[in-house]
Structure 1
Amino acid sequence: MLDWAAEHRGLPYRTPCHDRWLLDGLADGAPPQEREHNSRFVVASRREKYALLSRMALRAQKLRTTTCRFEASELHAMKQAATAHLPYGWISTSDALTAHLWHLLGRLRARSAASVERLGVLVDFSSYLKEIPENYWGNTITCTELRLPVGEMQDCSLGKTARLIRESTSENTAANALDEIAYLREQRLAGRERKVMPRMLYRAYTNMLQVNDRAKLPFYDLDFGSGTPFRCELPHVPIPWAAQIMPTPEKEGSREVHLSLPKAAADALVAEPSWQAHLHKYA
C-alpha cells in the first residue's frame, strides 16, 4: 500500500508484488500427504458452509463493537508486569496485551472452571518464508491456537500466559506454511476453493477469542496526495469475541483495541466500573 501511495504521488516506489503463483510455486516442496488434510482448513459441504454463513448473519445483529485505548505507558507497565513473572524467554508487547485481553474476556464470559478457553491468533507467515519478496502483500495469513482450562487460566500469571502465546506463535514455521500453501493449491486446482473454510471460524461461536494484531501495519503513513489519515475506523466484525489491535495516529506506542462482543458483555465492559478497572489495571 505504501508503494501504491508513492506511485500515486509520483514518487519512487518498488513494484508491488501480490502474485498468487509465487506462493503456488513454493508448494512443490511440500510432502504429498499434506495436500490431503490440513489442521487449519476444512472443505465444507455446501450445507455446512451456508449454515455457518447464516449463523454469522443472524448473530451479527446481536453484537456490538466497542473500542478501548491503551496508552504507551500502560502497555509498558503491562509488559513489565508480565516479564516480572516470566521464568524464561522473551515476549513482545503484543503477547502481553493479548494475554491480558484473554484473561479479561475469559472472566467476562464466566464459564465453569472445567470448561476450556481457546485463543486464536492470526499470523502472517511471509516473514519466515525467505522465497517471498520483502514487499509481498496478501495471501500469507494463517493462525495459531492455544487452549487452557478456565481454572488453569485463572491461576496462570500474565507472564506465563504471554509466554504460552509466544511459544504457540513460534510453532508457525516455514514447513507448516508450505504445507498450508500445498493444501490450498490442491483444493483450488480441484475446484473446491469456494468450499474451503478456516476451522477456527467454526469455534468462534463456542469458546474462542480471536485476535488480529494489525498494530505494525502503516495505516497512518498512507498518503495518496491529500495527507495521512487522522483516524482509521474498522468495519463491524460479524464474529463474537473478536479483538483487532490497531495503531494510533500519534505513533508513540499506544494501541486501540476493537472488540466485537455480545451486547450484554459489551455493555458490562463499558458501563461497569469494576470491569473498566480490570481492563486498565496497568494504567
Structure 2
Amino acid sequence: MKVRKESSRIIKPLYEGIPPPTTNSIPLCVFDKVTYDAHIAIIYAYHPPNPPNATLETGLRKALSIYREWAGRLSKDDEGEPIILLNDAGVRFVEASVDIKLNQVMPLKPSAFCLSLHPSLQGIDELVQVQITRFTCGSMVVGFTAHHLVADGHATSNFLVAWGQACRGLKIHPLPLHDRGMFRPRNPPCIEFEHRGVEFKSQNLENIQNLHDENVKGGIVVVDQVHFSLGFLGKLKAKASAMNGNNKPYSTFDSLVAHLWKQVTKARGLNAYQTTNVKISVNGRMRMTPRIPNEYFGNLVLWAFPSSKVKDLLHEPLPCGAKLIHDTVAKVNDNYFRSFIDFASSQKVKEENLVPTADMYQAVECPNLEVSSWLRFPFYDLDFGGGSPYVFMPSYYPSEGTILLLPSFIGDGSIDAFISLFEDHMAMFKQICYDLD
C-alpha cells in the first residue's frame, strides 16, 4: 500500500487586480514567539464526488491572496527579531494517488501510514503544504501542514474554511484581521504574575524532569484514538458536577479532562507523592478585554497548569479535579494575558536569556499531560464543493503524554481523544478509560 507522489510544485497567490508589493514584512507578536516552533499536520477524508485538483489549486491560490502570511517565509529583521516576509514565495502543492479504495484503510487510525498522506514536516521553507491523495473509489484525502509560528488552530481553521469558500466560487467571508501590532505593553507595565517557568524558561538551565516511574526509561510510545459517546459524556459531566450545588455545572471539557488526567495517572502507576500537572491551551480571543475578534489571524494562546499531588488526584472524587481545572483555567484571564504581554515585551526576556517552554519535540511529558482542544474549531466546515469531510484527524504524533480532543465525525456531540502514552501505560489506560468509579 504505497502512496505515489505524482507531482510537487510551488503555487503562489492569485490576486484580483494589481498584486501588492512583495517587499513588506510582519513582525511576530509576543504570542507567536512563545508558541511551538514547528509544523503541524492534519488530515481530511472526503467521499466522492470531489472537485478536480485544478479547482483545489485555484481556490488555494485565491485564499492565499487574502491570507498572504502563509505564502511568505519566516525570517529576521535587522535587529534579529523574527518576522514573516510577505514575499509571495508560495506554498507547496502535492498530487498523489494510491491503488486501493479508501475503505480498505478505514477507520483511519493514528499510525505511521498517516505520514504518507501529507508532505514531510522537516527541513522545509514553505509555511503551508498541501497534499491531495486520490483513491481508486473516487475518495480524496487532503493532508495539510502549517507552521505554528504563523497562526494557532483557531486562525488556521478560519483559513481552511476560506479555502473551501474560494473553491466553491464564494466570496471569502469573514475576512481575517491581520493586525499583530495590537498587543502592546501598558505604560507603565504591570507584571502581576510569574511568567518564568510558565511561558518562559532559562536557556542556561537544563530542563530536568524527576521521573519516578521506571517504565519511562526506554519505553515505546504508542498513539491511540478513544471514543467518548454522548451518553458517557453526559454521565461524566453529571458526576463531575455532583458537588457543585446550585452553581453552574462544569463543562464537558472540564469533566473529560479531569477524568482523563485521573485515569492516565492511574495507568502510569506514579508515586503517590509525585506532582502531576496538565498543560491546557487557553484561547485569548474570548478572554481579553475588549474581546479580540474571532477573525484575528495569528497566535493568541497561553496555557493553564492545574497541578496536584498524585495521591490527592486519585483519592479525591472527580468533582475536585474538575474544580481544579475549571478554577485554574479561569485565572488565565485578561489580567493574566496583559501581564504576559508586559513581561514578554520587556528587556527581562533578553537579559535573563529566556526561551519559550513550548517544545513540540519534547518526547516525554510523564508525569504530566498536555491537552489541546479542537472542539470549537470549524474544521468540519471545510467544504470544497462535495460536502463536509467524513473524517478529520491530526497526523501521527507519538509524543508521550499529549492528548488532543476533537469532535467525533459522527456529529452527535461525542468526542474523540487522540492519546499518546507508553505502550504498557496505554494498555492499562484502555482497560480503565470508561470507569466511572
After superposition, the Cα gap between the structure-2 partners of 1:116 and 1:16, relative to the gap in structure 1 and judged at 3 Å, is same
Q: Report matched runs for 1:171-250 at 5 Å.
A: 171-186=331-346, 195-198=355-358, 205-250=365-410
In structure 2, give the amino acid aligned to 1:9.
Answer: R
After superposition, the Cα gap between the structure-2 partners of 1:268 and 1:43, relative to the gap in structure 1 and judged at 3 Å, is closer
The match for 2:281 among 122, 125, 142 is 122
Q: Shift of residue 145 of structure 1? A: 0.7
Q: Structure 1 residue 89 and structure 2 residue 89: aligned?
A: no
Q: Shift of residue 82 of structure 1? A: 1.5
Show the counterpart of 1:111.
270
How does the TM-score come out when normalised to structure 2?
Answer: 0.54
* Alpha-carbon distance between aligned partners in 1 of 2:224 and 2:380, rounded to the nearest angstrom: 21
* Alpha-carbon distance between aligned partners in 2 of 1:88 and 1:200, rounded to the nearest angstrom: 41
* Alpha-carbon distance between aligned partners in 2 of 1:29 and 1:201, rounded to the nearest angstrom: 37
After superposition, the Cα gap between the structure-2 partners of 1:32 and 1:162, relative to the gap in structure 1 and judged at 3 Å, is closer
Show the counterpart of 2:306.
146
In structure 1, give the amino acid aligned to 2:387.
Answer: G
* Alpha-carbon distance between aligned partners in 1 of 2:329 and 2:194, rounded to the nearest angstrom: 24
More helix by share: 1
Task: Show structure 2 runs of 5+ residues with no match.
Answer: 1-157, 210-216
Show the counterpart of 2:259.
100
* Alpha-carbon distance between aligned partners in 2 of 1:99 and 1:173, rounded to the nearest angstrom: 21
* Alpha-carbon distance between aligned partners in 2 of 1:189 and 1:152, rounded to the nearest angstrom: 35
What secondary structure sits across from 2:306 in the alignment? Answer: strand
In structure 2, give the amino acid aligned to 1:250.
Answer: I
In structure 1, give the amino acid aligned to 2:199.
Answer: F
Show the counterpart of 1:41.
199
* Alpha-carbon distance between aligned partners in 1 of 2:435 and 2:189, rounded to the nearest angstrom: 48
Show the counterpart of 2:434.
280
* Alpha-carbon distance between aligned partners in 2 of 1:171 and 1:36, rounded to the nearest angstrom: 13
What secondary structure sits across from 2:405 in the alignment? Answer: strand
What secondary structure sits across from 2:305 in the alignment? Answer: strand
Q: Shift of residue 44 of structure 1? A: 4.3
Q: Report matched runs for 1:19-38 at 5 Å.
A: 19-23=179-183, 25=184, 27-28=185-186, 31=189, 38=196
Q: Structure 1 residue 161 and structure 2 residue 321: aligned?
A: yes
* Alpha-carbon distance between aligned partners in 2 of 1:243 and 1:30, rounded to the nearest angstrom: 39
* Alpha-carbon distance between aligned partners in 2 of 1:102 and 1:36, rounded to the nearest angstrom: 25
Q: Shift of residue 77 of structure 1? A: 1.0
In structure 2, give the amino acid aligned to 1:227.
Answer: G
Is residue 404–residue 419 contact of structure 2 (8 Å, CA) maintained in 1?
yes
What secondary structure sits across from 1:160 in the alignment? Answer: helix
After superposition, the Cα gap between the structure-2 partners of 1:190 and 1:6, relative to the gap in structure 1 and judged at 3 Å, is farther
Is residue 5–residue 224 contact of structure 1 (8 Å, CA) maintained in 2?
yes
In structure 1, give the amino acid aligned to 2:426.
Answer: A
* Alpha-carbon distance between aligned partners in 2 of 1:105 and 1:239, rounded to the nearest angstrom: 15
How many residue pairs were aligned?
267
Q: Shift of residue 67 of structure 1? A: 0.4
More strand by share: 2
CA deviation vs aligned residue, 1:30-84 (integer Å, no higher than 9, x gap): 72657995452225438959x99xxxxxx99932111000011110111111122
Q: Structure 1 residue 16 and structure 2 residue 176: aligned?
A: yes
How does the TM-score come out when normalised to structure 1?
Answer: 0.80
Q: Which has the larger radius of gyration?
A: 2
* Alpha-carbon distance between aligned partners in 2 of 1:202 and 1:42, rounded to the nearest angstrom: 15
Does 90-99 or 204-213 show the bigger shift? 204-213
Q: Shift of residue 22 of structure 1? A: 2.8
Is residue 116–residue 149 contact of structure 1 (8 Å, CA) maintained in 2?
yes
What secondary structure sits across from 2:421 in the alignment? Answer: strand
* Alpha-carbon distance between aligned partners in 2 of 1:159 and 1:142, rounded to the nearest angstrom: 25
CA-based RMSD of the aligned residues comes to: 3.5
After superposition, the Cα gap between the structure-2 partners of 1:22 and 1:230, relative to the gap in structure 1 and judged at 3 Å, is same
Task: Show structure 1 runs of 5+ residues with no match.
Answer: 53-58
After superposition, the Cα gap between the structure-2 partners of 1:211 and 1:223, relative to the gap in structure 1 and judged at 3 Å, is same
Does 7-16 or 241-250 show the bigger shift? 7-16
